[in-house]
Amino acid sequence: MFDFLEGYDLLGAFWVTVQLTLLSAAGSLVWGTVLAAMRVGPVPLMRGFGTAYVNFVRNIPLTVIILFTSLGLFQALSISLGGQRFETINFRLAVLGLVAYTAAFVCEAIRSGINTVPVGQAEAARALGLNFTQVLTLVVLPQAFRAVVGPLTNVLIALTKNTTVAAAIGVAEAALLMKEMIENEAQLLLISAVFAFGFVCLTLPTGLILGWVGKKVAVKR
Amino acid sequence: MTEVSMAKEEVASTDDLVVLKSVNKHFGALHVLQDIELTIARGEVVVVIGPSGSGKSTLCRTINRLETIDSGTITIDGKPLPQEGKELARLRADVGMVFQSFNLFAHKTVLENVILGQVKVRRADKQKAEQRARELLDRVGVGAQADKYPAQLSGGQQQRVAIARALAMDPKVMLFDEPTSALDPEMINEVLEVMQQLARDGMTMVVVTHEMGFARSAANRVVFMADGRIVEEAAPDQFFSNPRSDRARDFLSKILHH
């Protein structure tokens, strides 16, 4: 029944999906945190940049962003992110696009987490003589992160599925292989089901594990 | 003991620690602080009382610039309050503050709460900071709770931890912004006792409170505020037995008869 799978590197394709997801998740977590820090910071220019970035980027379709990294950054501006082979370049460009896009959502999730931390705690931290960065990194953000494990899990699951857009610029991840298989084999429904199942295998444990983590690290007030 | 207190008075008479000169502040149309003149000497305990909305808390918070002022000057130990930045952070480290709602860091244990400022601001050695933190926690009577999280403590215990956290910075002056107003009645005394002890040890204190008993027993001076102004300043005995202003008489008649 599953003969049609022979000759295709299904695991390899999903491994690329996992790599795209993990690298983009790490990148967008860092960049999203920086954006959130800008948005709550005292410097008007940074606040303005953070706000503009989030509102601009999250309203552009991901496909457009991913295509832009290939057509705009690579082909027009020759930005190859240090890659030599075509595959490496496209993979890195896809990660860049996913980070740029996902960070906007991470930023807003973290900002909502910052709002769960009572203002008085930041005041107490300032009253001890901590500077803005210290107040943020030692007192506010650690509590904000614990409060938004749930929302960040949603972002991570969305990101896992969004990696399929990287197929648009030829990154050999799961969705690209699916397209190829659908073209070659006569098992449309089965192929789709196999790939759907593959993604559920990635995202379901993510949700369960992080749901447990979220409860575990929640700050008691 | 007498020698100590005499020495303290001598120093006090020559050494002004906190000086506010014609301080004004508005919240929109509301003029919350109107031409405030207040001098606090080293080692002095000043209790600020007055009706709600009279500007007492705001006054207290301007001293370490948690609230900015519109005009006037505030100097601490001879130095004017700097603008936001490194200088201000350094000054705030010298000014301890205790809040109505405790504001302990909820994700850190009691011990970590008291260590944090010492290590990150004073750059103290971790081990010494911990030792000092345990000493201070013992001193305020919550040494046994060191490894718990704030949410596991009663309000009175949390507030005493907050006092220890402020003391860990070796502040020149301690500000108390209604430290017992959020406490259940049976916990108020345990906090007031710690504050009494601090006052006896010669700490300079500015205390905004509704606890008249504390004002009577621990204050060197009572400052009565109403409608954004300092209406009356006097020694506690004099203020409570013989207030000069009508506003203060009216206030006292409302709170002292029950």
What are the tens digits of pLDDT across the range A207-217? 999 999 999 99
pLDDT tens digits for B120-143? 999 999 999 999 999 999 999 999
Contact B99 A123 (CB under 8 A): yes
Q: Domain containing A192: what range?
A: 9-217
* Separation of alpha carbons A134 and B109, rounded Å: 18
Query: What CATH number is given to the structural domain containing A98?
Result: 1.10.3720.10
pLDDT for residue B164:
96
Domain presence at residue A117? yes
Flag whether residue A133 sits within 8 Å of chain B, measured between CB atoms: no
Checking if the pLDDT of B12 tops 70, the result is: no
Sequence-distant (6+) residues with CB within 8 A of B203 are B43, B45, B173, B174
Residue of B nearest to A141 (CA): B107
pLDDT tens digits for A98-125? 999 999 999 999 999 999 999 999 999 9
**Cβ B58 vs Cβ B68: under 8 Å:** no
Of A166-175, A207-216, B168-177, least confident by mean pLDDT is: A166-175
**Cβ A24 vs Cβ A99: under 8 Å:** yes
Checking if the pLDDT of B201 tops 60, the result is: yes
Flag whether residue A221 sits within 8 Å of chain B, measured between CB atoms: yes
Domain presence at residue A158? yes
CB nearest to A131's CB, from B89, B97, B99: B89
Sequence-distant (6+) residues with CB within 8 A of B123 are none
Sequence-distant (6+) residues with CB within 8 A of B186 are none
Residues of A in contact with B104 (CB under 8 A): 121, 124
Checking if the pLDDT of B7 tops 60, the result is: no
B2-94+173-255 CATH fold: Rossmann fold (3.40.50)
Quick one: tokens of A161? 């599925």
Question: Domains of chain B: which residue ranges?
Answer: 2-94+173-255, 104-170
pTM, to two decimals: 0.85
Residue of B nearest to A221 (CA): B151
Domain presence at residue A4? no
Residues of A in contact with B96 (CB under 8 A): 127
Domain presence at residue A21? yes
Residue type, B151: A
**Cβ B98 vs Cβ B176: under 8 Å:** yes
pLDDT for residue B221:
94
Checking if the pLDDT of B6 tops 80, the result is: no
Residues of A in contact with B86 (CB under 8 A): 131
pLDDT tens digits for B203-233? 999 999 999 999 999 999 999 999 999 999 9
Confidence band of A1 (pLDDT split at 50, 70, 90): low
Contact B84 A42 (CB under 8 A): yes
* Separation of alpha carbons B145 and A79, rounded Å: 57
pLDDT tens digits for A13-37? 899 999 999 999 999 999 999 999 9
Q: What's the rounded mean pLDDT across residues A3-8? A: 78
Whether complex ipTM tops 0.90: no
Residues of B in contact with A149 (CB under 8 A): none
pLDDT for residue A54:
97
Count structural domains, chain A: 1
pLDDT for residue B258:
54
CB nearest to A134's CB, from B120, B149, B166: B120
**Cβ B220 vs Cβ B205: under 8 Å:** no
Domain presence at residue A18? yes
Please give the mean pLDDT across all residues of chain B: 90
CA dist list (Å): B159 to A62, B98, B183, B184, B195: 50, 8, 9, 12, 11
Checking if the pLDDT of B4 tops 70, the result is: no
Q: Which strand (E) or helix (H) includes residue A88?
A: helix A86-114
Domain presence at residue A50? yes
Domain presence at residue A2? no
Measured between CA atoms, how close is A183 to chain B, in angstroms?
54
Domain presence at residue A1? no
